[in-house]
Amino acid sequence: MRYAGNVIWFIFGGWLLALMWLLYGVLFAITIIGLPYTKAAIEMAKLSAWPFGKEVVHIRDLDNKEATTTTVLSGAFGLIFNILWFPFGLSLSLAYLIAGLLNCITLIGIPFGIQAFKLAGISLWPVGRRVVTTELAELVRQDKAKATLESYRA
């Protein structure tokens, strides 16, 4: 199902949404300060082209690093970059919302609409996120849940 869903998604507009991400990534790559956006845009372009079987996780959940001065500082910069990204992300988010609504008109299109709505939310805050397989995302969530449980028991 993933493969068929990805092919149908790509043919009927996924390529255009991914191209929008890449366009923003190229625009920001021109400047030195825009490089964090470029990495985020490439990650989101991959997800926009082939969304089935993929999820987005926060980088801190993925690398499982303790809070240090470097991680806190990079998180603060990520927040600032996400706030600055918001006007650009809003246009992408609206494109995903339109695609999601158009897909949800038919019963067959509902899974595609759900993917579009997922991408709409992610496009507003892309810095600090990584695209991973659904299975890896589940392992990351389980690991985080175990760590939270251990903190309650300690």
The total of structural domains in the chain comes to 1
Give the integer Cα–Cα distance in Å for 133 and 36.
Answer: 22
In this predicted structure, the answer to whether residue 67 has a pLDDT above a threshold of 80 is: no
Question: Is residue 138 over pLDDT 90?
Answer: yes
Indicate the burial class of 36 (C-beta count within 10 angstroms; 0-12, 13-18, 19 or more).
buried
In the predicted model, what is the mean pLDDT of the chain?
Answer: 85
d(CA 59, CA 113): 26
> What predicted TM-score, i.e. pTM, was given to this entire model?
0.74
Domain residue limits at 27: 2-153
pLDDT digits (tens, 9 = 90+) for 91-129: 888 988 998 899 899 888 899 898 889 888 888 888 888
